[in-house]
Amino acid sequence: MQASLGGVLKGQCHYAAAKAGVMALTRCAAMEAADAGVRVNAVAPSFASHPFLEKVSDPLLLEELEAQEPFGRGAQPWEIANIIVFLASDLSSYMTGNA
């Protein structure tokens, strides 16, 4: 599952509600699937940089989004992919219901 809930912004109630729903579903699904040995986790990057996003977005908006990030930039696609690889591996065998 994928979800993000970095900051709550004016005019984004629909976004916040949808992402919070994914996070709640992750926790509930994890509890229901645990007996079968199935792990359920969500990946929740708050902002991810991507060449397509840079082409279609206002540069000032991108700067504002990056400034809100803890590291001052959006996550790179490969960084998010590494999290997914970790969650799919045995290294996260005792991890479920997290976002």
Question: Which residues form the catalytic set?
Answer: 15
Tokens representing residue 82 in the block: 């590494």
At residue 19, φ and ψ (nearest 5 deg) are -70, -40
The candidate with the shortest Cα–Cα distance to 75, out of 53, 43, 50, 55, is 50
Cα distance between residue 48 and residue 37, in whole Å: 31
At residue 2, φ and ψ (nearest 5 deg) are -130, 135
